[in-house]
Amino acid sequence: MLSDEVRYSLLRLLEANPTMSQRDVARQLGMSLGKVNFCVQALVEKGLLKATNFKNSQHKAAYMYFLTPRGMEEKAKVTARFLKQKVQEYEELRADIARIRVEVRRNSRR
């Protein structure tokens, strides 16, 4: 199962760069090539991504990735979930920072 973060990152990156190789995707996202391949295949199998062959400038077969209409819907949903999660993490971090500042002020007065 793909996490929302991985799904969001892959869909966002491949939508913006449909001819990007899986090796470049792996480098960009800090993932292994095998994990990228597994995740891309999972997105293709779920009907969220379509991969088509093309010839790149080096005369090698490569893939071009397109988000399907279902993939676009999923990207919108996963983006909303991902944003909600990040905002929650941000709020928790802000609260932690506020607590730590209070603690530092107390300790510096001693």
Q: Which domains are delineated in the chain?
A: 4-109 (1.10.10.10)
Q: What is the pLDDT of residues 3-27, one digit of tens each?
A: 888 999 999 999 999 999 999 999 9
Rounded Cα gap, residues 78 and 43, in angstroms:
13
Tokens 């730590």 -> residue: 100
Residue from 10, 34, 9, 12 nearest 23 by CA: 34
What phi-psi label fits residue 30: left (phi over 0), alpha (psi between -120 and 50 degrees) or beta?
left
The pTM is what?
0.77
Q: What is the pLDDT of residues 68-82, one digit of tens each?
A: 999 999 999 999 999
80 bridge partner residues = none
E strands within 1-110? 49-55, 61-67
